[in-house]
Amino acid sequence: MIKLLAKIFFFISLVVIEYLATAKVSFETTALSWDKANHCFAFFALFVMLSFAYQDLSQTKKLLALFLFAVQIEIVQYFLPYRSFSLLDIFADAIGLFLGLIFIKILVSKGFFDKINKIL
């Protein structure tokens, strides 16, 4: 059941992030650092959800898939007149992925996934 919920939340999150990244927004980002923190947190959360949803998928494949998603967002933004391509956004996304990987490795080392899978 947790894998199904993780898959649902993961795919909903992908859609929401894609929408937010490509929509014409009417609010202004108050600070560059806050925008980059949003990127970092979003990709941290995506990596954690993907890890719960697809436990058998290698960490490398998860990282690559989400990194390509980040690059895809920036490429789409390049072609939108109200958005722009940003290597800093990709870098912030990559930091979020790296932090997500560390977090998941800690959970795995503590046997968290084994415990969850036994319960469910």
Which tens digit of pLDDT belongs to each residue from 66-100?
Answer: 999 999 999 999 999 989 999 999 999 999 999 99
Residue 46: inside a domain, yes or no?
yes
**Residues 10-69 pLDDT 10s:** 999 999 999 988 988 755 554 556 788 999 999 999 999 999 999 899 999 999 999 999
Residue ranges making up the domain that contains 38: 2-17+32-119
Q: How many domains does the structure of the chain reveal?
A: 1
Can you give the pLDDT at residue 34? Answer: 76
pLDDT at 96: 98
pLDDT at 94: 98
> Domain for residue 24, yes or no?
no
C-alpha distances out from residue 23 to 6, 48, 60, 83, Å = 25, 25, 30, 9
Helices and strands (H and E) in the chain: how many: 5, 0
Report the pLDDT value the prediction gives residue 27, as an integer from 0 to 100: 54
**Does residue 23 sit within a domain?**
no
Assigned domain for 26 exists:
no
**74, 86 Cβ separation under 8 angstroms:** yes
Question: Which amino acid would we find at residue 8?
Answer: I
Kindly report the length of the chain.
Answer: 120
pLDDT of residue 2: 74
6 in a structural domain: yes
Domain assignment present for residue 27? The answer is: no
